[in-house]
Structure 1
Amino acid sequence: MYRIGELARIMGISKRTIDYYTQIGLLNPVRTDSNYRLYGEDCIKILEMVEHYKTLNMPLEEIKSSIKMLNSDNGIDKVKVEKHCEQIAILMGHLKEEIKVIEPILQKLNQTEKEMLVNKLSSQGVILAQTLLLLFD
């Protein structure tokens, strides 16, 4: 269990951000007898998901909804799953558009720069493809 300052340091975010995420219900710390908030490993996983979704420019309310859906012990809500898949499709469309915009810049890179970029993107792409295959198998 981590106090807010420790969690902020580990995750590289501000205590104020953690406070905000706690206020909106993304994080659910345990209160000690002396009223300190303690954050567990589940909070670290949630913060990692939040940071990931933020890099995809997903609004915080959608992030909250997605995390709620992923952590739900209840049965699968087909409508929410479909909405989440639609959001993923929209993000993929945005990425496709960004690739079109950056393509002329990529053409100007030398061979070493291209190889570095391909290596970085291909490892992330492989992970994404594996995740999608697992989801749809």
Structure 2
Amino acid sequence: MYSIGEFSKMVGLSEHTLRYYEKEGLIKVNRDNNNVRIYSDEHTLWIESLLHLKNTGMSLKDVKQFAMWGHMGDETMEERLALLKNHRKKVVEDLEKLRQSLEFLDYKINLYENNLGNCFS
């Protein structure tokens, strides 16, 4: 079990962000008899999942929905699967756009590097 300060350092998020995630329903945190937040290793895995979803550009609305279904348990597995599959399609499309833009950048860099050599001849 970890305090919010310990847990914050472990997962690399500020205490403010952890409180925000709790307020938004993204994580559920137990409290001790003194009403102090208590985090477990399970929270670490959950935060890791949320950060992956965030890093893929999933909207806060969809992350909240995913979290809500996750807190509800196994009966929402089909809904979570559908949400993840739909989001994956978007991520693949985004990756393709980035790949095309990277090719463009490489082309332009190569063009400029070759022309710079001509300037010094």
TM-score normalised to the size of structure 2? 0.76
Relative to structure 1, is the Cα distance of residues 22 and 76 closer, same or farther in structure 2, using a 3 angstrom cutoff? Answer: closer
Within a 5 Å distance, the mapping from 1:117-136 to structure 2 comes to none
Query: Given the alignment of the two structures, is residue 30 of structure 1 paired with residue 30 of structure 2, yes or no?
Result: yes
SS at structure 2 position matched to 1:74: helix
Within a 5 Å distance, the mapping from 1:53-72 to structure 2 comes to 53-70=53-70, 72=73
| CA distance in 2: counterparts of 1:76 and 1:10, whole angstroms | 28
Residues 70 and 76, structure 2, Cα contact 8 Å, conserved in 1: no
Q: Which deviates more, 46-55 or 14-23?
A: 46-55
SS at structure 1 position matched to 2:75: coil
Output the aligned Cα RMSD: 2.2
* Partner residue, 2:21: 21
| CA distance in 2: counterparts of 1:91 and 1:100, whole angstroms | 14
Letter in 2 for 1:74: E
* Partner residue, 1:99: 99
* Structure 1: runs of 5 or more not aligned: 110-137
| CA distance in 2: counterparts of 1:58 and 1:104, whole angstroms | 26
Count of residue pairs the alignment pairs up: 108
Flag the structure with more relative contact order, 1 or 2, with Cα contacts below 8 A and sequence separation at least 6.
2
Relative to structure 1, is the Cα distance of residues 61 and 13 closer, same or farther in structure 2, using a 3 angstrom cutoff? Answer: same
Residues 46 and 67, structure 1, Cα contact 8 Å, conserved in 2: no
| CA distance in 2: counterparts of 1:80 and 1:10, whole angstroms | 27
Identity of aligned residues (%): 23
* Structure 2: runs of 5 or more not aligned: 111-121
Relative to structure 1, is the Cα distance of residues 19 and 10 closer, same or farther in structure 2, using a 3 angstrom cutoff? Answer: same
Superposed CA deviations along residues 88-110 of structure 1, whole A, max 9, x for unmatched, are: 1011111111110011334658x
Larger Rg over CA atoms: 2
Deviation at 1:42, TM superposition (A): 1.5
Deviation at 1:82, TM superposition (A): 3.0
Deviation at 1:61, TM superposition (A): 2.2
